[in-house]
Structure 1
C-alpha cells in the first residue's frame, strides 16, 4: 500500500474518540520520523500537573503512551505545574517548550522553558537552566508556547495568555532568542477575540494562525483562525472552526494540527469535555479531520 493509499485508509477508519484513556488537554501534534505524535498537558488539579506523557501512532488509529517524558524534578526553577507543551525537531534533537509556575507579574519567577532530548519520546532535560521567556511583554502572560519552523528554516515561537499573543524568533540553537527585522525581540500579533493557545500551520504558501477563545474551564472554549501571507501577520480573524456540540462534547479547544504523510489530508488534535463531566479538569484527547474549501478557508470541524 502506498503512503497516499495508507492515508486514505486511515481517514476512512478514524480512531475512536477519545484516542486514549485518562484526562489530558492542550495537545500539540507533530510528525517525527514518519510517526504521529501528540504532546498534551496532564489534566489534573493545577499543582498535580507535574509531568508530561506523550502519545504516538503509526496509523492515526492505534495510539501508544510514552510515559513521563519530562518531570518537574528535572526543571530546577519550576516550583509549580508544567503544562501546554510544544515539541519540534531540529538538527537531530528534539526541543520541548512548556510553561511553569503560572506567574501573574514580572515580580514572580517562571514562564516559558525549553527542554531537549535526542528522541521524540524523551527523556527531556532542561536545556538552559532558566526560563526562556520570563516577563510580560505587550500584556501577554508567558504561557502556551507553540513552536513553528518555516520553509526557509526560520524558527518562531508563538505564545501568550490574558488575551495577548506575541511571536519571537529563535536562533539556530533553538534555546535563545534572535532579533526580528526591526531589531526587536518581541512582536505582538494579537487577533480579534484571541484568548490563548496559539497554533500555526502553513498550507499552499498561506499561513494559518489559530488560537483558543472562551474560558478553558467552561463549555464555550473553542478554536478560531486567521490567515496571512507572512508568519508575522497581520492576522485578521476569519471565524471559528471548532466548538462544542451538545450531542458530543463541550469545551473543545487548545489544539495542534498535523498533515498525514504523503497527502494533503490534515487532522486536528484537541481536547474536549465529555457531556457526563462537570469537573473542568476532566478533558480528553481527540483527533478529527480538518478540511478546506477550494478557496483555502477551513471548514468547520465535525467532532466525532
Structure 2
C-alpha cells in the first residue's frame, strides 16, 4: 500500500501541473493529415459535440476544478479556460483533501438546452477521515464553457464507499443511467490472482475496483433503486480476461486490479460498455469491452479484449492507453475512440489521442494506438484544416 501511495502521489503531481495552451495543429504541410498525440495534456478525456463545435474536458489543466478546449475538427484545439470551480455557491468537495481534492474525470451532457457536468472529487463530509473519500457530483451551466454550478451542495448519492469515473447513458425511452467505478480503496477481494500474489511474495493482499450501474432521477438529484454490479476483474486464472486485467499485479506494479473509466453506448439494439483495467499510472493500462441486451446487464466481456493497449512490444512508443470516451466525425460517418496515453516523448504526462474505431456485428475494433499520420475526420470542411 505504501508503494502504491508513493506512486499515486508522484503521478498525481504531474496530473495537476497546469497545461500549456497549445493551438498549433499537428498536421502535415498539405494540411490533410494529423498525428497523435493531440496538443492537449489531459487525463480521462471526454468530448461533447454541440452546435457545430467540439468541447474537450478532462483531468488536469485547472486549479481545483476543470478546464475545457474547443475545436471544429477534433484535431486543432483552442483553450477555453477553467469552466468549473470547486468554490461555487453549491460546492460540496474538499480542495484540501488528498490529491488537491481529486477533481477527476469530467463528462458534460446537453439536456434540454442545459449542460450538465458529472465529475468525481473528495467529499468534505468525512468523519472517519478516509484518504479516498471520492463521490460523484453534477453541475449545470447555460453554455458548454460554463461556468458550471453544482446542482446541490452534496454528491448525487452516497453508496457508502468511494466512487469515481461517472458516465451517463441516455436511453431512447427517456431514462438515464449512471455508471461509475467503486474504488479499490479498502476493497480487498479474494481471487486466484490474489492467491498467486501471496504465493509469489509479491503482495499480501489485492484490492479491486468494480463498475456499477444505476438509474438516475430525471432531474439528476439522485438515483432510483440500488446500484447493480456490472463488471469486475476475473476471479479465476483460467478466465480469458485474467491475464490482461491482472498485469499491474503480475508485473508487481501495485496490489490493485482496476475496472474503471467506463463508457456505455448502444448500437443496433446492443449495449456496449468499454472499460479500462490495470494501473492508470503504469504501462499496462488498457481498454476492453462487454456487451448486453439491457443497459444494466448482465454484460459479457469480449474474447477480443483488450482492444487497445500499449504498442511498445511491436516497436511503438505508446503505453498507458485508457479511460476512453466516444466521438463522431462532423458528418457522423466515422467513430473515434478518445483516450489518454503516454509516449516516449511525453514521458509521464498524459496526453489525448484519437483513433478510429468500428462497431460491427457485436464487435468493437479500435485502429490504434497510432502516432503516424492519419486522415482528418470525415466531414471537416477543407477550409478548416488547410493553410
TM-score range (shorter-chain normalised) is: 0.7 to 0.9
Match of 1:85 in 2: 106
2:318 matched to 1:254?
no
**In the TM superposition, what are the counterparts of 1:262-273 in structure 2 within 5 Å?**
262-273=331-342
* Structure 2 segments unaligned to the other structure (5+ residues): 1-30, 95-100, 185-208, 234-244, 246-257, 371-387
2:357 matched to 1:290?
yes
2:213 matched to 1:167?
yes
SS at match of 1:143: strand
Is 1:29–1:256's contact at 8 Å kept on the other side of the alignment? yes
Q: Which of 43, 52, 64 is equivalent to 1:34?
A: 52
Q: Which of 190, 194, 208 is equivalent to 2:272?
A: 208
TM-score, with structure 2 as normaliser: 0.66
Q: Which of 133, 141, 152 is equivalent to 1:117?
A: 141
Is 2:68–2:81's contact at 8 Å kept on the other side of the alignment? yes
Is 1:106–1:136's contact at 8 Å kept on the other side of the alignment? no
2:199 matched to 1:158?
no
Match of 1:188 in 2: 229
CA distance in structure 2 between the partners assigned to 1:33 and 1:302 by the alignment: 29
Match of 1:61 in 2: 75
Q: Against the structure 1 CA distance between its residues 118 and 42, is the aligned structure 2 distance closer, same or farther, given a 3 Å change threshold?
A: same
| C-alpha deviation, 1:299, in angstroms | 1.5
| C-alpha deviation, 1:124, in angstroms | 0.5
| C-alpha deviation, 1:142, in angstroms | 1.0
Question: Any idea what the Cα deviations from partners look like across 1:264-284, whole Å, max 9, x if unmatched?
Answer: 4101111001214553xx100
Which structure has more helix as a fraction of its residues?
A: 2
CA distance in structure 2 between the partners assigned to 1:259 and 1:266 by the alignment: 5
| C-alpha deviation, 1:34, in angstroms | 3.1
CA distance in structure 1 between the partners assigned to 2:151 and 2:363 by the alignment: 38
Is 2:337–2:366's contact at 8 Å kept on the other side of the alignment? no
CA distance in structure 1 between the partners assigned to 2:115 and 2:306 by the alignment: 31
Is 1:30–1:257's contact at 8 Å kept on the other side of the alignment? no
Question: Any idea what the Cα deviations from partners look like across 1:91-138, whole Å, max 9, x if unmatched?
Answer: 1111101111189x984565111111011111101111111133336x
Is 1:241–1:299's contact at 8 Å kept on the other side of the alignment? yes
Match of 2:23 in 1: none
| C-alpha deviation, 1:154, in angstroms | 1.1
SS at match of 2:164: coil
Q: Against the structure 1 CA distance between its residues 114 and 225, is the aligned structure 2 distance closer, same or farther, given a 3 Å change threshold?
A: same
Q: CA RMSD in A?
A: 2.4
Which protein has the larger Cα radius of gyration, Structure 1 or Structure 2? 2
TM-score, with structure 1 as normaliser: 0.83
SS at match of 2:214: strand
Q: Against the structure 1 CA distance between its residues 287 and 50, is the aligned structure 2 distance closer, same or farther, given a 3 Å change threshold?
A: same
Q: Which of 218, 242, 245 is equivalent to 2:282?
A: 218
